[in-house]
Structure formats: C-alpha cells, structure tokens
Amino acid sequence: MNLLPNLKTKPAQIDSMYEKLEERFGAVHCPLTYSQPHELCIAVILSAQCTDQRVNLVTPALFARFKTPAEFANADRIELEELIHSTGFYHNKARSIQGFAQSLVETHGGIVPNNMKDLVAMPGIGRKTANVVMQELYGLVDGIVVDTHVLRLSKLLKLTKHSDAVKVERDLIQAIPRKYWMNWSLYMIFLGRSCCTARKRNCNECILSNLCPSSTLKNGA
C-alpha cells in the first residue's frame, strides 16, 4: 500500500539523487571523533542541538578525564557539566550521559548493544542515536538517521510532510531503498551544510537542483 500518495518524488528519482550524492561526496563516515564504542554514544548524545564541530572540540578533554563507562557513571555531575557546557543543554546531557553509562555498566557489562531494542531502552539513547551507533560500530542498518538537516531536506525533496523525526523516518524507510539507508543521512547532512542550509538555499550550486521538487531553478523562482 502506498502510504505517501501525495508526495512527488519517484523511485527512479531517488536512484538518480543517490548517484549524484555518491559522486559528489563519495565514501562517508560519521564526523564525530571517538576511539571507544561508548565514546561514540556519548558524542552523539552531545550532538543534540549542537554542531559536530563543537562536539569534537569538547570531547578530547572529556574523554581524557573520564576514560571508561564506569568513570562516566560515577563522575561528579558538576565537573561533567562544566566539561560539556558549551554544547548546550548541559544539565540534561550530563544526566543522559551518566544514565547511559550506568546502564551500559550494570545491564550490558560495558558492551554497547548491537540492536535497536536494547539501545533505545538505555537513558539518553533515542532512535537517532541508536541508528548512528548500529551503523557506525556494527555496520547494521535498522533505520535512517533523522537529524535537523535530514528532516529539513526530506521535506524539500517531498519525501515527507511531517516534522516529527519518528514519522519522518517511517516515510523515508518507505521511500528510500534499504541499500541506500547507510549513507543517505550523511549525504543529506553534507548537502545541508554545503549549499542547502537552513538560512539560505543555494539551488544554483546544488547537485540535486534538477531533481528537487522545491528547487527555485525548477520552479522559476
């Protein structure tokens, strides 16, 4: 059953989009820096409402101070908040980090789970974080990462009408072939940072301008 009857983007266009994105951005990897699995989870928690660049400036000192999940779980909350202050929402993030670390130690023996069910049951881990972790650490694809760039561009590409990340992911899972899921989100993120920003859509430089239903060039705007 077609759940997206009013959307314009067709399967053949998705294939063409992916080919152009792959040609432009090539092999892509998570831009967050980490050396241990639990560090990736913490970095993704910190990335909420914050740029990856800012997170990567904060995490070297953070990971040098607290080296293991147990150390994060037992960290002084005020010190932890001071170290992550510049990422914003530091009270909530510190609470999420410590809740995640405690769950990781007590429930999972310090091993980051490799499945969606166990990951999203942990404090601070939603579907976005779980998708990033599964793809980056284990090469497993169980969904599509939806951040602010992916959400915004998905609406411009007429892949969804929703603003809720969970509903957007459901639409994308139907619209995007599974073989593209691993890279699609990162391609959208890189495109959103380079020319289709929230402040200004530069359709003249966008590689998808001839395929995007919202292109100002295509619509003569």
CA angle at 13 for the pair 149 and 171, rounded to the nearest 5°:
50
Handedness of CA 169, 174, 180, 184 (dihedral sign): negative
Question: The tokens 């983007």 sit on which residue?
Answer: 9
Q: 15 pairs with which residues across the strands?
A: none
Please give the pLDDT value at position 219.
52
Helical residues (DSSP H) of the chain, grouped into ranges: 11-25, 37-46, 52-65, 69-73, 77-84, 90-108, 116-120, 127-138, 148-156, 165-175, 181-194
Query: 170-187 pLDDT, tens per residue?
Result: 999 999 999 999 999 999
Nearest to 127 by CA among 172, 84, 158: 172
Handedness of CA 149, 155, 158, 160 (dihedral sign): positive
Q: Are 111 and 15 in contact (CB under 8 A)?
A: no
What type of residue sits at position 58? V
Nearest to 150 by CA among 117, 176, 125, 126: 176
Classify domain 37-138 by CATH architecture: Orthogonal Bundle (1.10)
Q: 177 pairs with which residues across the strands?
A: none
- pLDDT(2) > 80: no
The torsion angles phi and psi of 129, rounded to 5 degrees, stand at -60, -45
Q: What is the mean pLDDT of residues 61-80?
A: 98
Cα(45)–Cα(96) distance, integer angstroms: 8
Active site residue ranges: 128, 147
- pLDDT(83) > 50: yes
Q: How many percent of the chain have pLDDT more than 90?
A: 84
Please give the pLDDT value at position 76.
98
- Tally Cβ neighbours within 10 Å of residue 89: 13
- pLDDT(8) > 60: no
Query: 17-42 pLDDT, tens per residue?
Result: 999 999 999 988 899 999 999 999 99
- Tally Cβ neighbours within 10 Å of residue 152: 18
- Tally Cβ neighbours within 10 Å of residue 216: 14
- pLDDT(164) > 80: yes
- Mean pLDDT over each residue of the chain, to the nearest integer: 92
Question: Measured in whole angstroms, how far is the alpha carbon of residue 65 from the centre of its chain?
Answer: 26
Q: What is the mean pLDDT of residues 12-19?
A: 94
